[in-house]
Structure 1
Amino acid sequence: MDDLEDLFREHADRIHAYARRHVGPDSADDVVSETFLVAWRRREVLPDRVLPWLIVTARHIIANQRRSGRRADQLWLSAVRDLWQAPQAMSPDEAMVERERHLEALATCTRPEREALLLVAWDGLTLAEAAAVAGCSVRAFTVRLSRARGRMRAAIGEDDSTQPAPLLAIVQELS
């Protein structure tokens, strides 16, 4: 097929269905877009039966996204572990336990929720500034932050009667 528009009309729904089975509805459109971008770049060498080629291309794009996601998860974990600063009143042993508690709790958050917590608690951004960095409205960011705080509290085992963990104490000051 010479016309990419025809190629897209004929196969986009199939590629979207494939992507949705593997990455869910939130990322499926991105996979479709990237797949057809690759097809456009390689339009001179597309095979006659292009659908299998498109699906393989989508599979490679999904695999790359997963690798990137794993790398991002490893990076935040390493950064938090390396940059953790415990309250001065804690002994080194207590600080290590507290750090590991926070790391485990942060791991229960989604990537956007974790980003929300760290933008506010570690980077010191206001809600409006953090929302701009995250690329969402202040309201959407506030929801992410609230959900993250709830997950953290549940994972750490806090309720309203306990003293909040250090990371959550910073976040609660903004709420």
Structure 2
Amino acid sequence: MDDSEAQLTALYKGHYRSVLSYVLLRAEQQTAEEIASETFLIAWRKLDRVPEPPLPWLLGVARNLVRTQRRSLSRRQTLVERLAEIAPAADVAEQVAERQAALNVLADLSERDAEAVLLASWYGLGPDEAAKIAGCSARTFNVRLYRARRRLADALDLTRLTFQEQS
């Protein structure tokens, strides 16, 4: 085992429980475990810059990851609610069913897909503007958006077919 692996192992063994405990106060079990793991992944990447003592720095990283995750969930939920408002239905029962189907489909989209749809459809940004926010080229963003819209449409079509078969 090289020196950096030994450093990370010692850091992990010494502070994982503290980081996980901190995150568990702010997130569900599975999410907390993912954020704690990601915290140590970031520590691994920046191992030469981790200050002494490392715990305050690790908790700061975890805090930022929790905030990022919350913002992402909030944006996704806002998109789901907006799309649910836009889709008119013939009657209340049909509207409730379609709204729930839209919520389920959007919740199943990856964060990257939801972001692409959100930036283009909700905020009405062009490829250049959206690409800057997404951290990629305009061409890459266009491909992401195309694929995200296709996945969304396919999932909605499949949901509609399932709903019609049950009726």
Normalised-by-shorter TM-score class: 0.5 to 0.7
The residue matched to 2:86 in structure 1 has which SS? Answer: coil
The residue matched to 2:123 in structure 1 has which SS? Answer: coil
Question: What TM-score do the two structures reach when normalised by structure 1?
Answer: 0.53
1:70-92 deviation line (CA, Å, top 9, x unaligned): 41244124423543433446434
The AA in structure 2 aligned to 1:75 is S
From 38, 46, 52, the counterpart of 1:32: 46
Are the structure 2 counterparts of residues 58 and 24 from structure 1 closer, same or farther at C-alpha, using a change threshold of 3 Å?
closer
- Structure 1 residue 112: Cα displacement: 2.4
Structure with higher Rg: it is 1
Q: Equivalent residue for 1:22? A: 37
Is contact 2:102-2:156 (8 Å) kept?
A: yes
Question: What TM-score do the two structures reach when normalised by structure 2?
Answer: 0.55
Aligned residues: 135
Structure 1: unaligned runs, 5 residues or longer: 1-9, 40-45, 47-52, 163-175
Q: Equivalent residue for 2:107? A: 107
The AA in structure 1 aligned to 2:133 is V
Are the structure 2 counterparts of residues 104 and 65 from structure 1 closer, same or farther at C-alpha, using a change threshold of 3 Å?
farther
CA distance in 2, matches of 1:31, 1:57: 17
1:48-81 deviation line (CA, Å, top 9, x unaligned): xxxxx43x34642453244224412441244235
**RMSD across aligned positions (CA):** 4.2
Q: Equivalent residue for 2:117? A: 117
Structure 2: unaligned runs, 5 residues or longer: 13-35, 161-167
Are the structure 2 counterparts of residues 153 and 61 from structure 1 closer, same or farther at C-alpha, using a change threshold of 3 Å?
farther
Q: Which structure features the higher share of helix residues?
A: 2
Percent of residue pairs bearing the same amino acid type: 26
